[in-house]
């Protein structure tokens, strides 16, 4: 009995080896789990649920198989796939969760998030996030033809990439005060998130009790998976991508 957590796969048509690894994971690992949680940035960028490409269809089909075979699958938006919507959910059977969700894992309350909103020092990112999350902007964007949306996204991506190069690594990590604040607010002693690509398990004391923050790793050269079992044990595993899927 175990539950799996992954995030930051950054799947794209440009990296078919990642798609192969993800499908391998869905085929071989997910069916034995009680549930699969995807904590954002599954995609390098998700433009639209109506994405007509073979890539989008391939991922949707693979997820659909997992949910049809009886493994519940949950998704929290990341900063790169915040446009995943209801249609994606209908087509895959994946349940979309709020940006902060408390789930009960074998009796323990656990807070799960993507992690971007914990990075309070990254003010320019948070301002940018607020803009692209505005419903009126998203509604307007949805009306555009797919090809135009692709062009707009790649233009904005090149601007944000440049901006990111001028940031120090410090400001792109979580703010410890914010971590403690949300954990207190949600009354949890365990937080699981991704986004920072700094896989680790942090233990700390706050509000007179022991707290744990698990950071999932991204999938690039390695694949990273957190397994949480019914005894309350958990481990963060990583494996070289080249050794993972039988390509």
Angle at 194 between CA 189 and CA 196, to 5 degrees: 115
CB 221, min distance to Mn ion, A: 18
- Cα–Cα distances in Å, from 44 out to 6, 38, 115? 14, 14, 16
Q: What are phi and psi of 70, to 5 degrees?
A: 105, 5
Give whichever of 17 and 163 is closer to ligand LP5, judged by the CB atom.
163
Cα 31 → chain centroid: 20
DSSP H/E element including 235: strand 234-240
49 annotated among ligand-binding-site residues: no
Q: How far is residue 159's CA from residue 169's CA, in Å, rounded to a whole number?
A: 18
Ranges within 132-151 binding Mn ion (CB under 5 A):
none
Give whichever of 19 and 79 is closer to Mn ion, judged by the CB atom.
79
114 annotated among ligand-binding-site residues: yes
Query: Binding to Mn ion by residue 195, rule CB under 5 A?
Result: yes
202 annotated among ligand-binding-site residues: no
Task: Determine the 3-state secondary structure of 94 from DSSP.
Answer: coil
CB 122, min distance to Mn ion, A: 11
Give whichever of 12 and 160 is closer to ligand LP5, judged by the CB atom.
160
Query: Binding to Mn ion by residue 41, rule CB under 5 A?
Result: yes
The residues that touch ligand LP5, with contacts defined as CB under 6 A, are 79-80, 116, 119, 122, 124-125, 128, 131-132, 137-138, 141, 152-153, 156-157, 159-160, 163-164, 167, 172
Give the one entry of ligand LP5, Mn ion, none that residue 48 binds, where binding means its C-beta sits below a cut-off of 5 to 8 angstroms depending on kind.
Answer: none
CB 55, min distance to ligand LP5, A: 17
Give the one entry of Mn ion, ligand LP5, none that residue 138 binds, where binding means its C-beta sits below a cut-off of 5 to 8 angstroms depending on kind.
Answer: ligand LP5
CB 203, min distance to ligand LP5, A: 23
34 annotated among ligand-binding-site residues: no
Output the 3-class SS for 105-152: ECCEEEEEECCHHHCCCCHHHHHHHHHHCCHHHHHHHHCCCHHHHHHH
29 annotated among ligand-binding-site residues: no
Q: How far is residue 247's CA from residue 235's CA, in Å, rounded to a whole number?
A: 26
Give whichever of 60 and 195 is closer to Mn ion, judged by the CB atom.
195
Q: Are β-strands 108-113 and 100-105 bridged in parallel, bridged antiparallel, or unpaired?
A: antiparallel
DSSP 148-165: HHHHHHHHHHHHHHHHHH
Q: Are β-strands 95-96 and 73-75 bridged in parallel, bridged antiparallel, or unpaired?
A: parallel
Residues that bind Mn ion (CB under 5 A): 41, 78-79, 195
Residues annotated within the binding site for Mn(2+) are 8, 10, 41, 79, 114, 195, 197
Query: Residue ranges for the binding site for substrate?
Result: 79-80, 122, 164, 167, 195
């Amino acid at each position: 009995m175990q539950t799996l957590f992954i995030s930051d796969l950054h799947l794209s048509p440009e990296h078919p080896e990642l798609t192969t690894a993800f499908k391998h994971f869905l085929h071989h690992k997910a069916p034995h789990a009680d549930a699969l949680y995807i904590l954002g940035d599954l995609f390098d960028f998700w433009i639209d649920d109506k994405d007509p490409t073979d890539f989008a269809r391939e991922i949707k089909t693979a997820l659909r198989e997992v949910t049809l075979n009886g493994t519940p699958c949950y998704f929290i938006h990341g900063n790169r796939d915040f446009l995943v919507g209801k249609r994606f959910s209908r087509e895959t059977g994946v349940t979309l969760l709020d940006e902060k969700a408390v789930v009960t894992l074998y009796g323990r309350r656990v807070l799960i998030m993507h992690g971007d909103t914990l990075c309070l020092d990254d003010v320019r990112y948070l301002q940018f996030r607020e803009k692209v999350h505005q419903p009126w902007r998203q509604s307007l964007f949805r009306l555009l033809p797919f090809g135009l949306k692709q062009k707009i996204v790649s233009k904005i991506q090149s601007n944000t990439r440049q901006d990111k190069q001028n940031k120090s690594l410090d400001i792109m990590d979580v703010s410890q005060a914010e971590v403690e604040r949300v954990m207190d607010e949600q009354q949890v002693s365990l937080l699981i998130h991704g986004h920072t690509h700094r896989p680790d398990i942090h233990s700390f004391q706050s509000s007179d009790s022991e707290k744990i923050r698990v950071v999932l790793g991204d999938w690039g050269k390695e694949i990273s998976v957190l397994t949480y079992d019914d005894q309350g044990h958990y481990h963060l595993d990583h494996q070289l991508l080249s050794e993972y899927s039988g390509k």
